[in-house]
Amino acid sequence: MQELTHYINGAHVKGTSGRFSDVYNPATGEVQAKTPLASAAEMDAAVQAAMAAQPAWAATNPQRRARVLMAFVGLLNRDMDKLAEALSREHGKTFPDAKGDVQRGLEVVEYCIGAPELLKGEFTDGAGPGIDIYSMRQPLGVTAGITPFNFPAMIPMWMFAPAIACGNAFILKPSERDPSVPLMLAELMEEAGLPKGILQVVNGDKEAVDAIIDHDVIQSIGFVGSTPIAEYIYGRGCSNGKRVQCFGGAKNHMIVMPDADMDQAADALVGAGYGAAGERCMAISVAVPVGDETADRLIEKLVPRIEKLKVGPYTAGDDVDYGPVVTAAAKEKIHGLVQSGIDQGAELVVDGRDFSLQGYEDGFFVGPHLFDKVTPDMDIYQQEIFGPVLSTVRAGSYEEALKLAMDHEMGNGTAIFTRDGDAARDFANRVNVGMIGVNVPIPVPLAYHTFGGWKKSAFGDLNQHGPDAFKFYTRTKTITSRWPSGIKEGGEFHFKQME
């Protein structure tokens, strides 16, 4: 069985803690590798290497740092299929979806190539008699990120690309469920010209997380995962004086107005609700049709589309719609929530509980589920299911639909499908959610805008990628400068000889 490593100071390093976590092939249920779980001492070794390497990297001008990222983009394109295959093998998502995972990370790297422009400070000439005031953005030092299993390529790049572009060193603690792609990314960054010690990958569990939170050298922490862990890392990290941004769970609503194109809305819901087996923080998990007639028309459109979904391993070809969920525990949790929906009175319109794939009976596959007549007091509405389960909550009016999205404790993303510009504009202005789609089901902003939710979906003042990333990974220093005015020795009319 393959034994994975950490990546510290430019080399693959075997774990020394004696603790390991199994890495599964979700399609077969088989253990295909084991990854080491770092101790606090192993984390400290990575921090020390980062601390030694970072000053020289910070002193490298932004243009030269950007050239490393430019070369990295070329290597990502070269190895796209290789990265996607490794990602699919450990995560379970389809091959096209895995390539999309890499691509959306690559786009943030492309944005970060603009670091020379994004890191420029401000200057005021003549702020007072002989006084100039200027500011500069300087790196924090050693930074760290803790990333989830569902986007093992994209989210690490969302964090380490801007951090490194700003002149920081970065320690990545990826999910222990699918750690191979982060290790490959570290190798590619050094092939692109990044000095050893600037990007390091330390695999681990809570012990490694706590070591990051409590290490006095680490200046900032980025996190994406569940809301309870986001709250824990944010609270403890801030109390330790670190700069912290934590992104938690989601319960994303899609409001369907009576005037919406129902075929377009149904297609959008199927893709956004069941793509990647629902294991996306931006997945639409709640459909909110306005009016019973709208709901009936929407359900009528959804059922045949959902029943035709092709579920299978990534090796079955590009026409597979989604693959397995990541672990047996995730599958069990999803089935438990489906049962709670039935027990609490929701109508299960499409029942995927008996789904089984011949030859892959031990895999972590979950069939698609569609609920109708879900109410806000039900567990399937309150909790993030993170699986291929779509709940329909019927709203009697636009205001009632808007209130559902606004009253939920999560505020990551939401969408409205309508032909009415006034309704769309009102919704976008009033809803207390961080990312809004208008006839767009998964409103993930492009790399040059920022990504972030509201309410219990995000903790911290700055979003991911876009301009906010360069603010998060730098400190602003302001200099007030005064020089004596006047020429003391008279004018010079010839070149002085070198002394």
Contact of 118 with 169, CB cutoff 8 Å:
no
Given 112, 166, 246, 281, the catalytic residue = 281
The angle that helices 206-214 and 40-59 make with each other, rounded to 10 degrees, is 50
Contacts of 78 (CB under 8 A, 6+ apart): none
Q: What are phi and psi of 176, to 5 degrees?
A: -75, -5
Say which amino acid occupies 478.
T
Contact of 204 with 20, CB cutoff 8 Å:
no
Q: What are phi and psi of 351, to 5 degrees?
A: -105, 110
- How far is residue 162 CA from its own chain's centroid? 14
Q: How far apart are CA 141 and CA 218, in angstroms?
A: 7
Strand partners, 322: 311
6's tokens: 């950490």
Is 281 part of the annotated catalytic residue set?
yes
Cite the beta strand spans of 305-361 per DSSP E. 347-350
202's tokens: 């330390």
Contact of 155 with 105, CB cutoff 8 Å:
yes
Say which amino acid occupies 346.
A
Contact of 220 with 144, CB cutoff 8 Å:
yes
- What is the Cα Rg of the chain in Å? 25
* DSSP annotation string for 434-498: SEEEES-SS-PPPTTS-B--EETTEESSS-BSTHHHHHHTEEEEEEEEE---S-SS----SPPPP
Angle at 418 between CA 413 and CA 423, to 5 degrees: 80
Q: How far apart are CA 230 and CA 203, in angstroms?
A: 19
Cite the beta strand spans of 44-174 per DSSP E. 123-128, 131-139, 142-146, 169-173
Give catalytic residue positions. Answer: 281
